[in-house]
Amino acid sequence: MVGGSKNTAHPPGPVDPARHQPSNGPFSRSRLSRSSRSSRGSRRGDRRFCRSRRAVVLAVLVLAALALTACGQGEDRPGTVSVDPESGTVSGSGTGTGTGTGTGSASGTHAGAEAGRVEPKPAGATQVNVTLKEWAIEVEPAQVKAGRVYFLVTNAGPERPHELVIVRSDAEPEQLPVADGRVREDQVEMVGEVEAFAAGTRASGLFDLEPGRYLLICNIVEGEGDQATSHFAEGMVAELTVTP
């Protein structure tokens, strides 16, 4: 065309496939490598965190178990503690010795003793009824056969708390070692006790008794010095004979 301009259209050239392919060069591999390392590092961190938490929990459980095992009302009782690291469980065991069980509540002065508690008599046990009062101990029957003996103890008061201490001895009551109005329990063959409980209530105890002679005493001392009242010295003692 004269005096005009002509637009010349150029057909699109061939497309370079290389420009539209994802790069497999070092840069791409580097990114993948970093991503993979980051993922693995995160998983390792999670595992370390879990192990750390488990270690803390196990440490707390071990300390708690040790405290419980060592605690035996002030007594030295050996025990062992074991921990399962996989499950996180703690187990403990302890050893101790005893010849009987009793119910009741003891305190330093016994002034605030609680009401006694009575447990059912086990089958096959021989029952002995004991009455504690100011100032005597009554026993019925006064002779039983050896074996498990169930003591049903009544505190007839009328005012004071009392306890029942069982001592195996051939000595007369006045021959027992006494200090500050109390029988020295560490110097006699003490079988067990029903701890102090309030007047007007009952308590019980179960003991394995061998043949022999036993003294039943109340070993409470109230007050101090010249004002002290020894229940034992006031006459709270009785005999029990156990036959084969």
Tens digit of each residue's pLDDT (9 = 90 or more) over 215-233:
999 999 999 988 999 999 9
Tens digit of each residue's pLDDT (9 = 90 or more) over 131-176:
999 999 999 999 999 999 999 999 999 999 999 999 999 999 999 9
Backbone dihedral region for residue 158 (phi beyond 0: left; psi -120 to 50: alpha; all else: beta):
alpha
Top CATH class, 100-243: mainly beta
Could you tell me how many residues make up the chain?
244
Residue partners of 173: CB distance under 8 A and separation at least 6: 215, 217, 232, 237
Neighbours of 3 (CB within 10 A): 4
User: Is the per-residue pLDDT at 104 higher than 80?
Assistant: no
User: Is the per-residue pLDDT at 25 higher than 80?
Assistant: no
Q: Cα angle at 194 between 190 and 198, to 5 degrees?
A: 140
